[in-house]
Chains A and B, each alone.
Chain A
Amino acid sequence: MNAAERFFHRHWKPLMFITLAMLLVSVVVVINNTLVHGSFLERDIELTGGKLITINLAQIPDLKPLQSALPDVNFRLVTGLQNTLLVEADVNADENKIISDLKALGVSGDYSIQTFGPTISKVFWQQAQIAIIAAFILMAVVVFILFRTPVPCTAVLLAAITDIVVTIAVLGYLEVRLSLAVLAALLMLIGYSVDTDIVLTTELTKTKEKDIPHRIHAAMKTGLTMTFAALGALLAMYFVSGSHILQQMSTVLIIGLLIDIPATWLTNSGILRWWVEKREKKQTSE
């Protein structure tokens, strides 16, 4: 055992509270978001209504003169393998005029235009909210079927909630807005998050012959390899795909996976450790 492991096994009780504190702060941030924007994360154009023009750029323009020339629209620049300019406008704006104005300012390239009417955005938003709640319920049902005992199940759910809520708080800080793609990634995160928790819980509750630190160690070895392999795939998606949608989705998953490391190995393992120790003590005394 090296120094870090010794530290971890000696101080697992206070370490548990690191992610709990992160969760608490994030809950406050998310409540604040809800009060300010009316939703837990500021909504993107798909969910509020409007026009989105996506232009693939050959070279990066200076946004300041663009913004002062076209004050009614919003500009966002997405950089990467492919640089993309996102132009957000009111649903009644004339997209052809915006495009020709931009051309006159030297900004042109292949583009796409998406229009989201207010009616459908409202429907999307409703659907999104239903989807999140339904996804959580279904996930909880599966977890309960798997472990059937309240403490491990609650610990797994707590880890999933921590992942999602802290990720949302970080996304808000990074000014990533809630779009349908971001929503999909947040729900995908549930899957990634629960993966490692199930590995941990299975190892801790179903193995009997090793001592608890060894069980945690074995689970951690598997779990961290999993997390880093997934991070590898997602980093490729972030840097190479050249699509702002894929970039957004990978951002969500990368942040979520990073948060999943402490959520699983500090908090979830702490709760389980406490519970398994108590249970095994009871069994030996009987």
Chain B
Amino acid sequence: MKISDVFKNYKLMLWLFLIVVSILLIAPNMNPVGVEIVGKDKNSTVPLIKGDVIYKIDGKDATIDLTQKNYYTLVKLDTNKGIKYVDVNGTLGISVRKVKSSRLNFGLDIEGGTRALIKPNESSNATIEQIIGILQTRINLYGLREATFRPVYYGKQGFIEISIAGGSKQELTDLLGRQGKFEATIPIKVSDGKTVTLDKPYQIALQSGVLRINNITVRDNEQFTLGTIPFKAIIDNSTDTANLTATVFTSNDIILVYFDPQRSRIEPVQNGYKWFFQVQITKEGAEKFAQITNNLDRVFDPNVGESYLTSKLYLYLDNELVDSLNIVSDLKGQAIQEPSITGFATTMEAAVNEQRRLQSILRSGSLPTSVEIVQLDEISPKLGEGFLQNVLIAIFVAIVAVSVVVSVRYKKIKIILPMLVIALSEVLIILGLSTLGWTIDLVSIAALIAIIGTGIDAQIILIDQALRGEEKYMTMREKIQRAFFIIVGAGGTVIGAMLPLMSVYLLRGFAITTIIGVLIGIFVTRPAFGEIVKKLV
């Protein structure tokens, strides 16, 4: 066969084309160095983001162990973004994984990590979407390790599969366990003789550290309720003043967080950017806000040129302060159900981040229903390392074993060699396509080896049909056609048998790998082999 024949033959060209595409898709990196950041703690001072690569730490080649050590000085990092110096006191606060040697996605059972299937007690489509949204937000908010979520349906019952590559059970518990309790509070500063007006007037008496509200004694740090509003008192003995911190609304009061351009914007102002968005809160929440702000005074801020109330609105998430916001003085005493939340940042990027963060916090909140972990897999990453090597050896030995069998039968290198090349190319193309959408897990590897078997089988059928000499009247074309009848028929039954497995989520990888393998066989590699056979025989 001449080389020019190959270029004229579209079946061979398609095959060669897919091989090249697959190699590009897999993008093998022969010499992977460094570690890639997959998650970052909230307090981490490392100026890198997820996906960045650290090559060296203090001149030493970066390893996972080195990133988890404690440092108490300036640490020098060689990264893909240049050399960075980080002032650390403790760990770097990042979680990393080794830089991958290719773009192949391996399943958790090979790469190691934690995978869980959780069952929400109420599992409508909307609830599942909502839970995934909340969990995703939590990852961004708390800097947890990156996880992937996938809704899984069995009949009407929906589940969510959570995979944390390289993660541990602890990280999963962190992700699910965060309560996401949100509170917005406004403190009212009071002193002796003041009146706080809520649903009715409350007389404050504060002398020598004893706080009395309407003649009832309130101790320092005590929680109490005035009208419908929960309060907490903090008494300052030295100035004889007290802060009565009111909880004006909680996660339960937030109905909606707006993301549309009318109600969620960033505008350039002098010296920076002003961000703004609206939320919808319940009537009760709005009423509490009105009652509390009625007791605050207005002050003019000459820097911004606007007047604000004397107290800020403080936002807490799981009892941790996440933000404090000025309240525009126009809002005093207003029971507004769609209040705006605004802030200011010097750069556009910071403004976007702040806005997004707050929107996420307000929207995230607690999960809409309780969840139950129904399946949990924890796989040590070290287990996977040696494993992949074994698998590669197994594929290699499988091909050798197959070669021995076909050598015994056909004895001719010009038949055996194309068979093996085609079989190898099939594995390569399946792996290449896998980078587009599915992960190679343990069962997929089994499917890959099984496909080597069925692939070789199909080639044996082709060769045997082509080699048959008895029927003088049968053209090569007809012989190959008959071979294809058998190959397509056998492939069809395999696909038929595999389709139902697509719905068993642990076996999806197996089913997809087999089906894709069969399809590539029928449409690409077998026609190419057919062309080769025509030339050979």
Contacts and interface: CB of A to CB of B under 8 A. Distances in A.
B119 A120 contact: yes
A141 B496 contact: yes
Contacts of A243: 387, 390-391, 442
A246 B490 CA distance: 23
Contacts of B397: 236, 239-240
A78 interface: no
A199 B486 contact: yes
Nearest to B117: A120
Nearest to A248: B446
A50 B397 CA distance: 35
Contacts of A187: 497-498, 500-501
A188 B457 contact: no
B493 A113 contact: no
Contact of A142 (B372, B452, B453, B493): B493
A202 to B, nearest CB: 5
Interface in A92-129: 110-117, 119-120, 123-124, 126-128
Contacts of A199: 461, 486
A113 B394 contact: no
Contacts, number: 241
Contacts of B499: 134-135, 138
A44 B402 CA distance: 32
Contact of B501 (A111, A135, A249, A250): A135
Nearest to B470: A210
A103 to B, nearest CB: 14
Given A127-B503, A226-B460, A243-B442, A233 B398 contact: yes
Contacts of A127: 154, 503-504
B406 A225 contact: yes
Nearest to B491: A191
Contact of B402 (A56, A114, A233): A233
A209 interface: yes
B464 interface: yes
B394 A237 contact: yes
Interface stretch (B219-227, B333-341, B377-385): B377-385
Given A142-B493, A195-B454, A221-B464, A112 B379 contact: yes
B405 A229 contact: yes
A230 interface: yes
Interface string B488-511: 011011111111110110110011
A190 B493 contact: yes
Interface residues of B, number: 74
Given A117-B375, A202-B486, A235-B401, A124 B394 contact: no
A165 interface: no
Contacts of A54: 383
A232 B489 contact: no
Contact of A190 (B453, B497, B510): B497
Contact of A194 (B461, B493, B503): B493
B103 interface: no
Most buried by A among B378, B391, B456, B490: B490
A172 interface: no
A65 B394 CA distance: 34
Interface in A191-222: 191-192, 194-195, 198-199, 202, 206-207, 209-210, 218, 221-222
A221 B461 CA distance: 10
A206 B376 CA distance: 53
Contacts of A235: 401
A130 interface: yes
A237 B446 contact: yes
Interface stretch (A9-17, A67-75, A176-184, A267-275): A176-184
A115 B119 contact: no
Interface of chain B: mostly helix, strand, loop or mixed: helix
A132 B154 CA distance: 16
A141 B496 CA distance: 9
A188 B450 contact: yes
Given A113-B378, A142-B492, A246-B446, A192 B454 contact: yes
Contacts of A113: 376-378
Q: On chain A, which size bracket covers the interface?
A: 35 or more
A134 B497 CA distance: 8
A222 B402 CA distance: 14
Contact of B383 (A56, A135, A198): A56
B449 interface: yes
Nearest to B375: A120
A22 to B, nearest CB: 22
B308 to A, nearest CB: 53
B209 to A, nearest CB: 50
A81 interface: yes
Contacts of A20: none
Nearest to A120: B374
A225 B379 CA distance: 39
Contacts of A194: 489-490, 493-494
B375 A116 contact: yes
A82 B489 contact: no
B525 interface: no
Contacts of A202: 482, 485-486, 489
Given A192-B454, A199-B461, A112 B493 contact: no
A232 B460 CA distance: 14
B330 interface: no
B13 interface: no
A77 interface: no
Contact of A191 (B398, B464, B494, B504): B494
9 contacts: A113-B377, A114-B376, A115-B376, A120-B159, A135-B496, A187-B500, A188-B497, A236-B394, A239-B397
Given A116-B374, A202-B486, A229-B456, 15 more contacts: A112-B379, A115-B377, A119-B374, A128-B504, A135-B501, A139-B497, A146-B492, A180-B506, A184-B446, A198-B489, A222-B461, A229-B460, A233-B401, A233-B402, A233-B450
Interface of B: 109, 117, 119, 154, 157, 159, 372-380, 382-383, 386-387, 390-391, 393-395, 397-402, 404-406, 409, 442-443, 445-447, 449-450, 452-454, 456-457, 460-461, 464, 468, 470-471, 482, 485-486, 489-490, 492-501, 503-504, 506-507, 510-511, 514
